[in-house]
Amino acid sequence: MQLKRTGMRRVYKRSIFKEMIHSWQLYVLILPMLVYFVIFHYMPMYGVQIAFRNYKITVGITASEWVGLKHFKEFFSAYYFTRLIMNTLLLNVYALVLSFPAPIILALVINQLHSARFKRFAQTVVYVPHFISTVVLAGMLYMLLSPTTGLVNKAIEAIDGKAIYFMVEPGWFRALFISSSIWQNAGWSSILYIAALTSIDKQLYEAAKLDGASRLQCIRYIEFPHLIPVATMMLILSCGTLMSSATDRVLLMQTPGNLQTSDILGTYVYSLGVEGGQFSYTAAIGLFANIVNFVLIVSTNTISKRLGGERLF
C-alpha cells in the first residue's frame, strides 16, 4: 500500500512537471511579478528585527543591541498613543463606511446608461481623477477652500455667510479627506464592479422585462446579487487596512490647526522616523499596525467564511 502511494506521488509530480514545461510561457509571464514581490515585499522582512533592536546605521542591523519589546512598551505608554490610535481608526472607519459603497453605486449608475458613446464618456470622466497627483489634489483643495480667494468661501460670502478656514479647523479634516478620496478613487474602484455587471447574461434582463420588472427591480434582483461576491472580497481587503492610511495625502493636508484630528500613525512614524531618525521606535509602530491589520483581515475573512460568503482563503 505504501509503495502504491509512493508511486502515485511520483506520477503526480511528473505530471505537474510536464504541465509546467508545456505552459512555460505563462510562467515566464508571471516571472516579473514574482521577482517584484520577492525583492520589494519578502526581502525587506529581514529588517523587521529593527523593531527589537536599538538600531544604529553605523553598525548595521545584526550588530545593533537587542532590546526586545522596549520600543513597543514605549509606544504603548506614549502620551499621544490614544490620540494616534483613535484618529487612525476613526479616519479609516469613516472612510470605509462612506467610500466603500461609492464605487458600487457608481457602477450601477453607469450600467444603466443605454448610449454606448455617453457611457464611455462617463467612464472616462470618473476615471480621470485617479491619475491626478496627490500633491496636485492637495493644492486644488487649498485653492478652492482658501478663506480669502477660494471659490467655496466666495460662494458662502455671497449668501451673507462667514468664511470658513476649512484647512485649519480640525472638525473639517476628516470630511475633506474622505470626500476628496471618494472623488479621486471611486471611479477607478468601480472598474471591478462594472466588469462584474458586464458578465451578467442578457437573457436575465429579457426574462425580467417579460415578467414586468422595473429598472429598480432589475438592479435589486439581478445586478446587486452579482456584485455581492466582488464587494465581499473588496470589503475583506479594506478591513485589512484600517490601521493604515494615505499618509502622503494626510501630510499634505495637515496643518498646525487640524493636528488634533490629522495626527495619525503614518504621520507620527514619518515625523519620528524620517525626520527624527528613530528607526527602531517607528519600526515597532509599523510592525504593531501591520499585526493589527493582519488580525483584522483574518477575522473578517473568518466571519465571511462562517456566514457562507466569499473568502480570500
Task: Encode pLDDT of 260-272 as tens digits.
Answer: 999 999 999 999 8
Is the Cβ–Cβ distance between 308 and 248 less than 8 Å?
no
Q: pLDDT by residue (tens digit) across 110-137?
A: 998 888 889 889 999 999 999 999 999 9
Report, in this order, helix, strand and coil percent for the chain, each rounded to 5: 75, 5, 20
Three-state DSSP at 72 gives helix
Supply the mean pLDDT for the chain. 88
Residue 203 reports pLDDT greater than 60:
yes
Average of per-residue pLDDT across 296-302: 91
Closest Cα partner for 225 from 204, 252, 249, 248?
204
Residue 9 reports pLDDT greater than 60:
no
Sequence-distant contacts of 193-196: CB under 8 A, at least 24 apart:
193/103, 193/104, 193/106, 193/107, 193/108, 193/227, 193/230, 193/231, 194/107, 194/110, 194/111, 194/123, 196/107, 196/226, 196/227, 196/229, 196/230
The more confidently predicted of residues 140 and 11 is 140
Q: pLDDT by residue (tens digit) across 164-198?
A: 999 999 999 999 999 999 999 999 999 999 999 98
**Which pLDDT does position 202 carry in this prediction?**
87
Q: Report the percent of the chain where pLDDT is more than 90.
A: 48
Give me the sign of the Cα torsion angle 262, 265, 270, 276.
positive
**Which pLDDT does position 3 carry in this prediction?**
42
